[in-house]
Amino acid sequence: NEIGDEGGEAISEGLQRNTSLKELNLNSNEIGDQGGEALAKALQTNTTLKVLRIELNKIGDLGCKALDRQSGDLDELDMEDNEGEVWLGEDSSLAANNIFQGHTKVINGVCKLDSATLASASDDHTLKIWRWQRNTCLHTLTGHTDGVQGVCRLNASMLASASKDGTVKIWEWRTKTCLQTLAGHTGRVRGVYRLNDSTLAIASDDGAVKIWEWVSGMCLHTLQANTASIECVCRLNATMLATANNLGTVKIWEWRTKTNLYTLAGHPSAITCVCRLNAKTLASASVDGTVKILAWQSNTCLHTLATHTELVTGVCRLNATKLASASSDKTVIIWNWPNGTCLHILAAAGSVRGVSRLNGYTLVSASDDHTIKLWKAKSAATSTRSRSVLVTDTRSSRSSRSTRSFLHSHSRSSAVL
């Protein structure tokens, strides 16, 4: 059985006594508000824990807010993909805060690396590493021979970049070192997505998705969807992913067995981006100018979000009820996706190619005018705390008794539960 609220309370008791544990991974469990609040209580007295990963659980607003309030001593807090996350209220407004310039061509994507750093990918064949709170470019990563289509974080020091040159490169971004070049597709690589600590998925216009062990550079599986270009890929859970193609179709895969479980006819035109919203729901963005909210297990379209006037280039989850979409109509729109309402329209100077969440009050967008724009809540100007968001996918189970005993006697610096 996976760890639930009772296990979370047992872990909390252990953390209040433990003085050696530096990192705790509780991803992909069943911890809810009760367990989240118990863990927050432990953080009041435990000052040695520096990294808490609690992604893909069932913590609601109460638990997430309690954890956020007590996380001042943490270097990294991961609460992605829970039932509730700290994000702006519907009455909050966003304003352009900073504009980063440095790329010489269209910027295709951005992603967060840690609480102070983000990466951007451009048609100028480079990636740039930015200290976003200081508007400073730290590094430029060169090596691709064509435009860089996408970028994703792998761990605290590494990222992956996807390029039109048909390769994905693995970088140690602080030293600007390319560690691996993954080559195997016969077409341009459209996107890359981290699946777990050692594995990533690559989408290509050759009609295939390849699953790679990025440390060894070994291709583990090839998911051959059809002859249509695979435009994007995203993780749904520890064993499943979604792909979307230029025919408007979303496919759901069990990637370890290469099994296509569901096929969703989502849009009449090419899909540009797909992202997970919760355990049963995903969002797809399309050339048709809409975002669709899809219940993928029942093949049901819950809402069609149709405020954009041109193609939608990207979509990202903000919390349990909010998402952001980017469009070539020069806007970013914030939506309440469960009821299909538009909350905010942010006007940019150029066509927006991608959007990403940095923290509970900041978004970043990439544009074809060669700039990156930071959007920050006006009401959050005095807030100084931000947390890095990690993506980890490690699953195991322990009883409450063994969990409590494990933490009480644990002398190593990290634990995965």
Crossing angle, helix 400-409 and helix 5-17, to 10 degrees? 20
**Helix H or strand E segment including 348:** none
Whether residue 125 contacts residue 145, with contact meaning beta carbons closer than 8 Å, is answered with yes
pLDDT at residue 381, as a whole number: 37
In this structure, what token pair is assigned to residue 61? 């607003």
Q: What is the pLDDT of residues 347-356, one digit of tens each?
A: 998 999 999 9
pLDDT at residue 402, as a whole number: 45
Going by DSSP bridges, is the β-strand pair 300-305/312-317 parallel, antiparallel, or unpaired? unpaired
Whether residue 134 contacts residue 124, with contact meaning beta carbons closer than 8 Å, is answered with no
In this structure, what token pair is assigned to residue 92? 């909050």
In this structure, what token pair is assigned to residue 207? 């009609």
E-strand spans in 349-416?
Answer: 352-359, 362-367, 371-377, 414-416
pLDDT at residue 53, as a whole number: 84
pLDDT at residue 332, as a whole number: 96
Whether residue 149 contacts residue 108, with contact meaning beta carbons closer than 8 Å, is answered with yes
Q: What does the alpha-carbon distance between residue 30 and residue 28 come to, in Å, rounded to a whole number?
A: 7
Going by DSSP bridges, is the β-strand pair 177-183/189-194 parallel, antiparallel, or unpaired? unpaired
Q: How far is CA 227 from CA 205, 214, 245, in A?
A: 8, 25, 10
Q: How far is CA 52 from CA 15, 16, 21, 48, in A?
A: 12, 14, 10, 11
Q: Which residues of the chain have pLDDT under 70?
A: 1, 80-81, 84-93, 225-226, 378-414, 416-417
pLDDT at residue 2, as a whole number: 82
